[in-house]
C-alpha cells in the first residue's frame, strides 16, 4: 500500500521510542498489532489506531499483526470478524500470514493461569460479582481481602480444573490474581482473570466454559506473538501496571512495552459503541453502514476514499492528551482527495425546464466536456445537447438582486460547455404561481466558450439535456448531529440529532453517462458536490447517489486563519 501524499512523517513520541529502541539494539525489528474485539463494527477512531499500528510497522520495515480479541463469546460473531477484515483491507493495509485470534491461545492461557496458582499468585474466589465490587473499595478507601484468598495451592488447582470441566454454574466461582487489595490502582486489587461462561464460542464451539479476561489475555497474546510495542489508547494507561505484573510473574517469551496515546474525538460525532448501538436500535440511522455513521463501513458507503482517511489520520498526529478534532478537517481531506481523483459530471437536482426557441427542434449535437480539470490524463467526453434542457431551479430568479449573474429574464448566461443563452420569457403554473418553464434564445456562434465579438458573460451554469438525461434518486447526507459536542453537560446526546441530516431527492436529472456508474464509484457533480453510487440501493441502470461532501471547504478557511495567527 502506498499513499499518493508524500508529506514527510511527523515526529511523535511513539516514533521517538521506536527509534531509540532500534538504535540502542533493544529491538532489531518492529512488531505491532491491531487487536479488535469482534463484537461490533469499526469506526473512524479505530481507523486512527489501524493507521498508527500498520503505519509504524511499515515505516520501520517491521510487521503488524491483526489479532482478534475473541475472549467473550456472548457478544462476538464471525460476521464482525469478516467486517473488520474488510475494513482493515479497505484502508489499504495487509497482514499477510499474521492473522491471529486470542482463542488460538486458550490452552496456553490456561497453562499460564496454572503457573500463577502454583506460585501462590492466583486463587479461586467464591464471592459473587456484587461482593467482589463491594470488597474492592474506592479510590479513597482500600479494599478488603476475599475470605477465599488464602486457599492452598492444591485446593486452587483442583477448583480451577473443575471450573474448566464445567462443574460449576456461571458466576459461582472466578479465578483472581493475588496482588494488593490496598493498591492505589484499583486494577491491581486482586483482579478477576477467568470467569465461567457456559456459552459456545464462534471458533472453539463448546470446548471451553471458562474464558480469560481482557487484561490477562491481552498481555499474554502480545508476549506469545513477540510484539515489541503494544500501542493502546489512553484509557489503558491505568492497566499498564497489571500488564507488566502478569508478564513479570510468568515465564513468557518476551516482555512487550505498552504505550498509550490519545484516542480520536471528533466534533459533531459520537464514537461510543453504546451510543452507536442506540442509534441503530432506535432506527435513527439505516443500520451500521448508514452513510451518516462514523463507522468505517458507513464512511465507505458515503464515498470517503481510504487515502483521505489515511491522510486525515496522518494530519491529526499522535498525542498523549485527549482533544477534539474538528470534523471539518476530515471533510477537507476527503474533498482534497476527490478534487484530484473524481471525474466530473453534470447533474441537476432541482430541475427547471428550459426551451431554447431558436434551436432547431430535431437537432442534436455532442459537446466536448472535461472529465477532470485537475488531471489532463482523464481526458474528455461527449455530452448530448438539444432544444430542451434542465437547469438548477436556484440558477433562475424572476426578480434578481444586483450582481446575480445567473439566469433571469433579459439576462445572458453561459451554459457550461455549450452556448450563451438569453432568457426571454417564463411560464408559470396558473394555480400556484410557480415558474415551471423558461424560454430562451441561444447564440450559435458561442459554442464551447467562444465569444467572437469579445463580449463578457459573467455567469456560467450547468444543465442536462431533457431528451437524454435520466431520472435518479440522490441522497443529500449532512452531519448527523447539529451540536459540535452531542450530549454535552450531561444532556441526552439524542437531543442533538440533526433532523436535516438526510434529504432524499427523487426526479433529479443526470447526465446519461452516469446511468451505468458502478456501485461505489465517486463523481463530482459540477457546482453541487461529490457523490458516490450507493452500494445497497442501486440497481443496474438505476443508480442511487449519496452525497459524500459538499464543494465548499470551511476547513481551508479555518486553516488559513490559523496560519495567519501563527
User: DSSP string of 277-344?
Assistant: HHHHHTTSSSSTT-TTS-BHHHHHHHT--HHHHHHHHHHH---SS--EE-HHHHHHHHHHHHHHHPPE
* Cβ atoms 278, 494 nearer than 8 A: yes
Task: State yes or no: is 37 an active-site residue.
Answer: yes
Please name the residue that has the C-alpha cell 539494539.
25
What is residue 352's three-state secondary structure? Answer: strand
CB neighbour burial string for 408-427, b if at least 16 within 10 angstroms, e if fewer: bbebbbbbbbbbbbbbeebe
Give the CA dihedral 225, 231, 236, 241, nearest 10 degrees: 60
> Per the structure block, which three cell numbers stand in for 448?
464551447
**Beta carbons within 10 angstroms of residue 61's beta carbon:** 8
Do 480 and 498 meet the contact criterion of CB atoms below 8 Å apart? yes
| Rounded Cα–Cα distance for residues 302 and 475 (Å) | 10
**Cβ atoms < 10 Å from Cβ of 145:** 15
Catalytic residue, from 15, 63, 263, 441: name it. 263
DSSP state of 256: P
Residue 560 Cα to chain centre, angstroms: 26
Grid cell of 287 as nine digits = 443500520
Which cell numbers in the block locate residue 341? 481523483
Cross-strand bridge partners of residue 33:
65
Residue in 136, 149, 164, 273 annotated catalytic = 273
Give dist(CA 445, CA 440) in Å, integer: 16
Contacts of 50 (CB under 8 A, 6+ apart): 34, 42, 87, 88, 91, 93
Q: Name the DSSP class of 140.
A: S
| Active-site annotation holder among 37, 86, 237, 559 | 37
User: With contact defined as beta carbons under 8 Å apart, do 345 and 514 qualify?
Assistant: yes
Active site residues: 37, 263, 273
Amino acid at each position: 500500500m502506498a499513499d499518493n501524499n508524500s508529506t514527510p512523517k511527523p515526529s511523535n513520541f511513539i516514533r521517538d521510542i521506536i527509534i531509540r529502541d532500534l538504535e540502542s539494539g533493544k529491538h532489531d525489528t518492529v512488531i505491532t498489532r491491531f487487536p479488535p474485539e469482534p463484537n461490533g463494527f469499526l469506526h473512524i477512531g479505530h481507523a486512527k489506531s489501524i493507521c498508527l499500528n500498520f503505519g509504524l510497522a511499515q515505516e520501520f520495515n517491521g510487521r503488524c499483526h491483526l489479532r482478534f480479541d475473541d475472549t467473550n463469546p456472548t457478544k462476538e460473531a464471525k460476521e464482525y470478524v469478516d467486517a473488520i477484515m474488510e475494513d482493515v483491507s479497505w484502508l489499504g493495509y495487509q497482514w499477510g500470514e499474521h492473522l491471529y485470534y486470542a482463542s488460538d491461545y486458550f490452552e496456553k492461557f490456561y497453562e499460564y493461569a496454572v503457573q500463577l496458582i502454583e506460585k501462590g499468585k492466583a486463587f479461586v474466589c467464591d464471592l459473587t460479582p456484587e461482593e467482589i465490587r463491594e470488597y474492592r473499595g474506592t479510590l479513597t478507601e482500600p479494599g478488603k481481602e476475599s475470605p477465599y484468598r488464602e486457599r492452598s495451592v492444591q485446593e486452587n488447582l483442583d477448583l480451577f480444573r473443575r471450573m474448566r470441566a464445567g462443574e460449576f454454574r456461571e458466576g459461582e466461582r472466578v479465578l483472581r490474581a493475588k496482588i494488593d487489595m490496598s493498591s492505589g490502582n484499583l486494577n491491581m486489587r486482586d483482579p478477576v482473570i477467568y470467569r465461567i461462561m457456559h456459552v459456545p464460542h464462534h471458533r472453539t464451539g463448546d470446548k471451553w466454559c471458562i474464558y480469560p479476561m481482557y487484561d490477562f489475555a491481552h498481555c499474554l497474546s502480545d508476549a506469545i506473538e513477540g510484539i515489541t510495542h503494544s500501542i493502546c489508547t489512553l484509557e489503558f494507561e491505568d492497566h499498564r501496571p497489571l500488564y507488566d505484573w502478569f508478564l513479570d510473574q510468568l515465564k513468557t517469551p518476551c516482555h512487550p512495552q505498552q504505550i498509550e496515546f490519545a484516542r480520536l474525538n471528533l466534533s459533531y460525532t459520537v464514537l461510543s459503541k453504546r451510543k452507536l448501538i442506540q442509534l441503530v436500535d432506535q432506527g435513527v440511522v439505516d443500520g451500521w453502514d448508514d452513510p451518516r455513521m462514523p463507522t468505517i463501513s458507513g464512511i465507505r458507503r458515503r464515498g470517503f476514499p481510504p487515502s483521505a482517511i489515511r491522510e486525515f489520520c496522518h494530519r491529526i498526529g499522535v498525542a498523549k492528551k485527549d482533544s477534539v478534532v474538528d470534523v471539518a478537517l476530515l471533510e477537507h481531506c476527503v474533498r482534497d482527495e476527490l478534487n484530484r481523483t473524481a471525474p466530473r459530471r453534470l447533474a441537476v437536482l432541482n430541475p427547471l425546464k428550459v426551451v431554447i426557441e431558436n434551436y432547431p427542434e430535431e437537432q442534436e449535437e455532442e459537446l466536448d466536456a472535461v472529465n477532470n480539470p485537475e488531471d489532463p490524463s482523464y481526458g474528455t467526453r461527449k455530452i448530448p445537447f438539444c432544444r430542451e434542457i434542465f437547469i438548477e431551479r436556484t440558477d433562475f430568479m424572476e426578480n434578481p438582486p444586483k450582481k446575480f449573474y445567473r439566469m433571469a429574464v433579459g439576462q445572458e448566461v453561459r451554459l457550461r460547455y455549450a452556448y450563451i443563452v438569453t432568457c426571454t420569457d417564463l411560464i408559470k403554473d396558473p394555480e400556484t404561481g410557480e415558474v415551471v418553464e423558461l424560454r430562451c434564445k441561444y447564440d450559435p456562434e458561442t459554442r464551447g466558450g467562444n465569444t467572437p465579438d469579445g463580449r463578457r458573460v459573467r455567469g456560467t451554469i450547468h444543465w442536462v439535456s431533457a431528451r437524454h438525461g435520466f431520472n435518479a434518486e440522490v441522497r443529500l447526507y449532512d452531519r448527523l448531529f447539529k451540536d459540535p459536542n452531542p450530549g454535552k453537560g450531561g444532556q441526552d446526546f439524542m437531543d442533538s440529532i440533526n433532523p436535516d441530516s438526510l434529504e432524499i431527492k427523487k426526479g433529479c436529472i443526470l447526465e446519461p453517462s452516469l446511468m451505468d456508474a458502478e456501485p461505489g464509484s465517486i463523481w463530482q457533480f459540477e457546482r453541487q458536490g461529490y457523490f458516490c453510487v450507493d452500494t445497497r440501493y442501486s440497481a443496474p441502470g438505476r443508480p442511487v447517489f449519496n452525497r459524500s461532501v459538499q464543494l465548499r471547504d470551511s476547513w481551508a478557511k479555518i486553516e488559513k486563519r490559523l496560519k495567519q495567527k501563527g
